[in-house]
Structure 1
Amino acid sequence: MAFPNTRVKVNVVSKPKERSFLELKRIITLIVGIALMAGVYFILPANQTDSARVMLAFLVLSVFYWTFEPIPIGLTAVILLVLMLVFHVVTTDVVYSGFASPAVFLIIGGMMLAKGVNDTTLTKRIAYLFLSKWGGTAKGLLASILIIPQIQSFFIPAAAVRATLMLPIATMSLDTIGEKAKGNLEKMILLAVAFGGTVSGTAVMTAAIGNILTVELLKEFVGIKITYIQWFTYTFPIWLILIPVVWFTLLKRFPLTEQEKHFPHVKEELEHKLEELGKLNIQEKKCLAILLMIVALWFTESLHGLHPSVPALIGVVLMALPGIGCTKWDNLVKINFDTVMLMGVTLSLGYAFNKSGAAKLVGDSLSADWILYFFHSPVVAVIAVLLITHILHLAVANVSTAVVTLIPIFIGLSTKAGADPVLICLTASIACLHGYILVVEATPNIIVHSSGRIKQKEFLIPGLLLTFLMSAVVLLTAVTWWNWIGLL
């Protein structure tokens, strides 16, 4: 009896110690962030406007806190909002303007739509349908895990939600496979959930926050509006090529024995699960009809002129209406408010970065002839932007922060060099989205890593390979497709 009591005593002592250490670590990180903010303010030339220096200091603080997360991202967002208001870097209207952006309501609508879809069995049905057909082999299972989120991206505008929906389906498949899934197969399939979720945000403008931020910042800074169909037109070759590239890379990186490549019992199990679901029920039919209507409105934006947020909100209303909808309003409003705060504040940061003069200050600092030289040639500019963005993204893990930091700078540089800001910003946005190397670079990576079944080291080599291959695909698309349609 003494041994169990001793063990309990050790656990009780160790947990407070662990909590104290983590608390101390968070406090130190908070202090370091404040020191960095102060350092940036005092290092910047005194002949610059005070508002520009303060705004740059706040931007550094936001990058640091959102990267290391000593406090929740939503709390960091509110702190930055308060700082901008208290120090009057720009007018109150500008500080709050991020929350008035239709992009915020697109994110809200997107998250509510995802909740509505998840309240039906439609997503499970799509997953079981693919896996019951191709889930009996390693190649087929991998392809299914990669393709399903690409379909979801048209009606679930959040990579985190897509990855969250895919992870249990992937782990269920691996658990059904049994002993064969304890090595390379498990790593390959789990990385497919992460990387497939990331790739799924490429071509659909509403499928990634970074895309939406880029579009909004281009509209705010240079008055260029990119529609849903335009974004799709620019990026769909990259998206289509990257799906088989990821599939092939993971197969080669995690070789399997002949015995590990076939597991027909998984196909049978998923066929059984699909049979259990039966025919499409009335809730699924309603949900599917609403989703198809939303996607149709997104694709025809150039005809009716409605911002993508409007069809999303229409879909939310229809999903909640009695007799028409497929879920209850009480379920739809249970969304992650941290994401809403993050979106609103990052947009406000971008607007304040421009209005305060901070963007001009950074642009002037980087306007050396040798830097502007890279932007004179469109092809060289694409290579330079890809390289700069990938390097910065390793340091600034949060995609929203990376986008809101880089896009205003690249807009300024492209304007001074006479380059097309759409070309430059589109390239930067795509590079920000595709974070494969570190767990913290993309939300799908974080979600998969949180399962406890895969480690950071498993991301490293395939992540490096895919970062290089993704850059090559973007460059190839630039010199061919973008050149043909007049973007390059």
Structure 2
Amino acid sequence: MDLPTTTAALALPAVLTIVTVGLWATARLPEYLTALLFFAAAMILRVAPAETVFSGFGSSAFWLILSGFVLGAAIRKVGLADRIARLLAAHLLGSWPRLVGGVVLATYALAFVMPSNMGRIALLMPIVMALAERAGLAEGSPGRIGLALAVGFGTFQLSASILPANVPNMVMAGAAEGAYGLRLAYLPYLLLHAPVLSLGKGAALVAAIVALFPAKPAGTVAAEPPAPAFGPAERRLSLILAATLALWMTDALHGVSPAWVGLAAACLCLLPRIGFLSGEDFAAGVNVRTCLYIAGILGLAAVVAQTGLGAAIGRGVLALLPLDPARPALGFASLAALTAALNFLVTANGVPALFTPLAHLLADGTGLPLATVLMVQVIGYATPILPYQASPIVVAMGMEKVLARDGARLCLVLALFSYAVLLPLDYGWFRLLGWIGP
């Protein structure tokens, strides 16, 4: 196929992608409506087959999100969220930086034992919001918004340093093994990314939330009545959650996706007599708007990849990058910029699928080792510039109805700090560990 024909074939997908991403980025329309418009336009214009356009609804991420909403609603209804929040309150209340820091630390600690971003958000969000209630942070207040964003941003961004803890990492690992026979090891990966991507970015996240969303949480109430005894509903839900967590942690052994484990747990929560939620509770607890939005993001990423638009853009950007084997720092920064650009098109889950096949060309152009080129992409997809680029952040915002502009403010501040301060630190750390030659 000659170039003009190829360019013409990519015109419709390109226009649809630009318009959809533009509407999400500017929030000119509600996010769910933009997703529905994308579905309608893609099918009417025959941009891609229906199984590609609507692939988001069949993805495990979509069902894990829906299950997360159900589990979160059950945790709130039976009082388990308030019980755990009561235990945390004595250590975190009274200081806004300490409260935010404690929540961010909890998101990272849980990533070591639970492989699903969505599952962690489902467990943490109701607990953190119960903690916000105890701190006197009203719904819609800056403090409550800040805590919701701490759950979403901490869950997604910090977990990038733990190999099995999020979807982009696993896509990257699978693509690297399939394309180059390169198997990534858990501890070397953690040592490479944890100091800067987790500790450095975690500290920046806490500072940014404290500055952008100031609050004065109440201190511990001295005359607080004792917690009520565990009821039958709390005991049943605790058993369901314990079994769910155990299956999530051992998914490599039994081979069942965390999404289907979560869906089974959600079904148990909805069953008569066994469960805890009525039909009305389900309707109130499941944010359909966010589910549609996530399906739209995943569908758009699939369309960009299936139509060849992503590969064409990747090759075009590759030709524009100022690659020079004699200047490894420039190559390092260029690779991070490339992943940031791809993030706008295919979101974090799709970046490694497009970037990894280009890694051998990028290694030749930069003079960096292939493994190093593969690792640099983690910096880019773990640093979204706008919320829609990271579906866990979107889910966290949707669960607490955080406005798009609030999430965008935090995204932009963290991205600016990450690329201006953390990226040079990362380059130095890569060199110190021998991933970049002298």
Q: Does 1:365 align with 2:316?
A: yes
Is 2:61 the counterpart of 1:111? no
Report the equivalent of 2:378. 426
Distance 1:329 1:120, change over 3 A: same
Deviates more, 1:127-136 or 1:161-170: 161-170
Q: Pick one of 232, 235, 243 that aligns with 1:293.
A: 243
Contact map agreement 1:202 1:236 (CA 8 A) in 2: no
Check whether the contact 2:93–2:220 (CA below 8 A) recurs between aligned residues: yes
Q: Do the aligned partners of residues 164 and 51 (structure 1) sit closer, same or farther apart at CA in structure 2, a change above 3 Å counting?
A: farther
Matched, 1:267 2:220: yes
The one-letter amino acid of 1:416's match is L
How far is the alpha carbon of 1:79 from its aligned partner? 1.3
CA distance, structure 1, for counterparts of residue 330 and residue 49 of structure 2:
38
Distance in 2, Cα, partners of 1:143 & 1:338: 30
Q: Which of 206, 221, 229 is 1:279 aligned to?
A: 229
Counterpart of 1:82 in structure 2: which amino acid?
A: A
Q: Residues 230 and 99 of structure 1: is their aligned pair in 2 closer, same or farther, counting only changes over 3 Å?
A: farther
SS of the aligned residue for 2:156 comes to coil
> Is the CA contact 2:323–2:334 (under 8 Å) kept in the aligned structure 1?
no
Q: Distance in 1 between matches of 2:415 and 2:331?
A: 24
Pair 1:239–1:298, CA change in 2 (3 A): farther
Counterpart of 2:156 in structure 1: which amino acid? G
Can you list the C-alpha shifts for 1:344-403, whole angstroms capped at 9, x where unaligned?
2222222221222212321231232744558996x866544445566898xx6xxx9643
| CA positional deviation for 1:468 | 4.9
Q: Give 1:448 deviation, angstroms.
A: 9.2
Alignment partner, residue 359 of structure 2: 414
Query: Structure 1's 62 and 253: CA in aligned 2 closer, same or farther, altered over 3 A?
Result: closer
The alignment's C-alpha RMSD in Å is: 5.1
Aligned to 2:302: 351
Q: Does 1:126 align with 2:88?
A: no
**Normalising by structure 1, what TM-score?**
0.64
Q: Distance in 2 between matches of 1:352 and 1:449?
A: 28
Provide closer, same or farther for how the CA distance between residues 241 and 332 of structure 1 changes in structure 2, counting only shifts above 3 A: same
The answer for the alignment partner of 1:54 in structure 2 is 12
Gap regions ≥5 residues in structure 1: 1-44, 177-185, 436-440, 484-488
Between the aligned partners of 1:232 and 1:114, the Cα distance in structure 2 is 34
Tell me if the contact between 2:96 and 2:210 (Cα under 8 Å) persists in the aligned partners: no
Query: Which string of whole-angstrom CA distances, capped at 9 and with x for unpartnered residues, describes residues 175-198 of structure 1?
Result: 79xxxxxxxxx9889746534541
CA distance, structure 1, for counterparts of residue 248 and residue 410 of structure 2: 37
Partners of 1:283 and 1:326 within 8 A in 2? yes
Give the deviation of 1:283 after TM superposition.
2.2
Which of 3, 14, 28 pairs up with 1:70?
28
1:88 partner SS:
coil
Gaps of 5+ in 2: 364-369, 388-392
- Compute the displacement of 1:286 (Å): 2.2
Q: Residue 149 of structure 2 contacts residue 407 of structure 2 at CA under 8 Å; is this kept in 1?
A: no
**Aligned counterparts of 2:144 and 2:57: Cα–Cα separation in 1:** 38
- The residue type paired with residue 339 of structure 1 is T
Aligned to 1:86: 44
Q: Does the CA-based 8 Å contact 1:117-1:287 persist in structure 2?
A: yes
The residue identity in structure 2 corresponding to 1:341 is L
Report the equivalent of 2:348: 403
Q: Label 1:95 to 1:294 Cα distance change in 2 as closer, same or farther (>3 A).
A: same
Cα deviation, 1:42-80, whole Å, max 9, x if unaligned, reads xxx845342312111111011111112222211111211
Alpha-carbon distance, 1:422 to partner: 5.3
Measure the CA separation in 2 of the matches of 1:482 and 1:325: 53
Is 1:338 the counterpart of 2:289 in the alignment?
yes
Closer, same or farther: CA 376–367 of 1 in aligned 2, 3 Å: farther
TM-score by length of 2: 0.70
Could you tell me how far 1:248 is from its partner in structure 2?
Answer: 7.4
Give 1:317 shift: 2.0
Is 1:325 the counterpart of 2:275 in the alignment? yes
What is the identity, as a one-letter code, of the residue corresponding to 2:275? Answer: G
Please give the alpha-carbon distance, in whole angstroms, between the structure 2 residues aligned to 1:251 and 1:53.
Answer: 40
Letter in 2 for 1:325: G
**Is the partner of 1:428 in helix, strand or coil?**
helix
The letter for the 2-side match of 1:368 is: A
Cα–Cα, structure 1 residues 372 and 313, in superposed 2: closer, same or farther, change >3 Å? farther
Aligned partner of 1:301: which letter? D
What amino acid maps onto 1:310 in structure 2? Answer: W
For residues 400-427 of structure 1, give each alpha carbon's deviation from its aligned partner in whole angstroms, at most 9, with x where no partner exists: 9643675555345425325458534433
1:171 to partner: Cα distance: 6.5
Q: Which is further off, 282-291 or 58-67?
A: 282-291
Question: 1:200 is matched with which residue?
Answer: 155
Partner of 1:135: 93
Work out whether residues 103 and 151 of structure 2, in 8 Å CA contact, stay in contact via their aligned partners in 1.
Answer: yes
**Which deviates further from its counterpart, 301-310 or 323-332?**
323-332
Distance in 2, Cα, partners of 1:405 & 1:92: 19
Shift of 1:303: 0.9
Identity of aligned residues (%): 16
The CA distance in 1 between the partners of 2:337 and 2:429, in whole Å, is: 16
Q: Find the aligned partners of 1:200 and 1:122 in 2 and give their Cα distance.
A: 21
- Cα distance in 1 for residues equivalent to 2:151 and 2:38: 33
Could you say if the C-alpha distance between residues 449 and 337 of structure 1 is closer, same or farther in structure 2, counting changes exceeding 3 Å? closer
